[in-house]
Chains A and B, each alone.
Chain A
Amino acid sequence: MNVVRRMAQWNELIHPDRIHGSLYTDRSIFEAELQNIWYRTWVYVGHESEVPKANDYVVKSIGPQSVIMTRDEQGKVNLLLNRCSHRGNQVCSYERGNARSFTCPFHSWTFANDGRLVGYAFPDGYEGQDRAELALGRVTRVESHRGFVFGSFAAEGPTLKEHLGGAAETIDRLVRTSPEGEVEITAGFLKHRVKANWKFILENECDGYHPAFVHTSIFGVADSMIGKLYGGASTALTRDYGNGHTEIDLRPEFRKRDLPMSWFGTSEERLPDYTTRMKAAYGDTAAREIMIDGTPHVMIFPNLFLAEIQMFVIQPLGVDDSVQHVTALQFKGAPDLNRRLRQQTMGSVGPAGFLLADDSEMYERCHRGVLARNPEWVFLGRGEKRERRDELGFKIGHVTDEVPSRGIWAHYRKLMEAA
């Protein structure tokens, strides 16, 4: 198959129960993904709480592109491309700060933090030039849901609400863990690089088949309750929300335990301040339900993984070069819970994390593995014959079934074929 023919015929590479190994390793496919996925669909960029005050900014990304998320003087959140409109130099070299404007060090062009060009050196050489034409580039559409800011380079297409679809509810569920209904991203990010294709990461986030094996070393020594959730007898579920969004729904197991905060391996007694605040905010009954159900384990396509106690943002840099940006979720009005979330997050994820060091090892070995081309296919058929629908019509399966991978690839194919 030559590349041109292959690009046109995604249905040859993506079947309901198997996908072609070259999808992870072919450079021309990676370039096509940047155009058809990363520079078109809604991509998570940052959280409003990272720029709390007027003129705050933080540097984020969409794929390999550097994006400055600013809060301008009017309080509006902007996603600006970190590229001077003159010669392309990066106008911002710091990861975060507070600035009304960005001055390019190359020829001193200065841009307001809403993107407007406000001045250039020796302006007499630009007589008659309309400055509005020379603003910083921006991400075409910006929308947020519960403080999570997404951007899309497509001028038209589904709204963020349409894109999130059924998965929007998981974010709504997440923020209810805060007595004030808000997530805050304030603990800084660990940046974990892997020499592997980004889709190995994407698929693994809701793969409930691997934990019992990949994480056996830590489950065995840490006296962890997590292992059981992913066992053969578990009642937890995998779910495909459509649009590539997938979930591991652990609530059936936590509801069986019927113990508030058991989802986080702790108890009301150990978090008295949090418990009091939750009951005051939601009432005894609803607070108890929230504290039993715990936070979601959901992968918002293509790059936002809400992983119960932490949040990952997946960034593809090249066909075999990806970064996992990860931080502890922090809940407004929950200082005692937040401290434990930071401690647990530091132990489990990032480059030296008890869990993620092993996950990342699998990503890299898989990437090298699929370079071998016999068999050509990656088999994703687990649980296909026992898939069923939940009461809202979403596909569900056993926690170890490959419902999420199949959902991701079905959506991927749709995006790639639409190009």
Chain B
Amino acid sequence: MLSRESSATLMGAVTAFLNREARLQDEHQYEAWERLWTDDGVYWVPANGANIDPEREMSIIYDNRSRIALRVRQLMTGKHFTQTPQSNLRRLVSNIELIGEHPGGDIGVASNSLIFESSLRDDTLWAARNEYRLRLVDGDLRMAYKKVVLVNNDKAIYTLSFLV
């Protein structure tokens, strides 16, 4: 159990981390965003509900660390046409909660996000519940796990090619 003081400090650090991640995503700072990941990071955007088995069923994204790197490298080519030109993005992150400690010391964090995307196709609003496992690595927080549950992930959705 964290003391009140250390809990507030942790919450402050987590909030700053999530805000920073959101800004890097909105501003297409792909490599800086990639550096937020631990070496064993898992990036998961399920389809058809929040609790499917990604080892058995299709997910919108289910990237291990090397596939996260591949995703970033594709974006960096400048020829990933769905992001050339890039979407204009701004997102709000809120409802941040610390949801416990995982074995090994990872910090469980949850948040909601609301993302406004303006692309060649149209303006699109995305909403999601996010779950993180954050880890202190050399004094800085890193993502070991990020799960993004889109509110409408059971429906047909448009191309989702920015970093969500």
Contact B122 A195, beta carbon cutoff 8 Å: yes
Count of A-B contacts judged by CB separation below 8 Å: 109
Contact of B120 with A364 in the complex, beta carbons under 8 Å:
yes
Q: Are B58 and A193 in contact (CB under 8 A)?
A: no
CB closest chain-A residue, reference B69: A221
Q: Contact at B81–A361, with CB atoms within 8 Å?
A: yes
A188-B52, A346-B61, A358-B81 known; A194+B159 contact, CB < 8 A: yes
Q: Which residue of A lies closest to B57 (CB)?
A: A188
Residues of B within 8 Å of A364, CB to CB, are 120-121
Q: Is B157 an interface residue (CB 8 A)?
A: yes
Within 8 A of A (CB), among B38-61: 45, 47-48, 52, 55-61
Interface pair B70/A188, CB less than 8 Å apart: no
Q: Is the CB of A328 within 8 A of B81?
A: no
Contact, CB under 8 Å: A221 / B74: yes
**Which of A103-111, A349-357, A409-417 is found at the contact surface with chain B?**
A349-357
Q: Number of A residues whose C-beta is below 8 Å from B?
A: 41
Does the CB pair A323–B156 fall under 8 Å?
Answer: yes
Which single member of B57, B63, B121, B157 contacts A192 (CB below 8 Å)? Answer: B157
Interface string of A199-230 (1 = CB under 8 A from B): 00000000000000010111011100000000
User: Which chain A residue lies CB-closest to B63?
Assistant: A347
Question: Are A351 and B158 in contact, CB atoms less than 8 angstroms apart?
Answer: yes
CB contacts (< 8 Å) of A55 on chain B: these are none
- B120–A365 contact, CB under 8 A? yes
Say whether B159 contacts A192, CB under 8 Å: yes
Residues of A within 8 A of B74 (CB): 217-218, 221-222, 354
B residues at A contact (CB < 8 Å)? 45, 47-48, 52, 55-63, 67, 70-71, 73-74, 77-82, 120-122, 154-161, 164
Further contacts, 16 of them, CB under 8 A, given A191-B47, A351-B160? A186-B56, A188-B57, A189-B48, A192-B159, A193-B158, A194-B158, A216-B79, A217-B78, A221-B77, A325-B156, A351-B159, A351-B161, A357-B160, A360-B159, A361-B159, A364-B121
Pick the 6 closest A-B CB pairs, nearest first. Answer: A191-B156, A193-B156, A361-B82, A221-B73, A217-B79, A188-B57
**Interface set of A (CB-CB < 8 Å, partner B):** 95, 186-195, 214, 216-218, 220-222, 323, 325-328, 339, 342-343, 345-347, 350-352, 354, 356-358, 360-362, 364-365
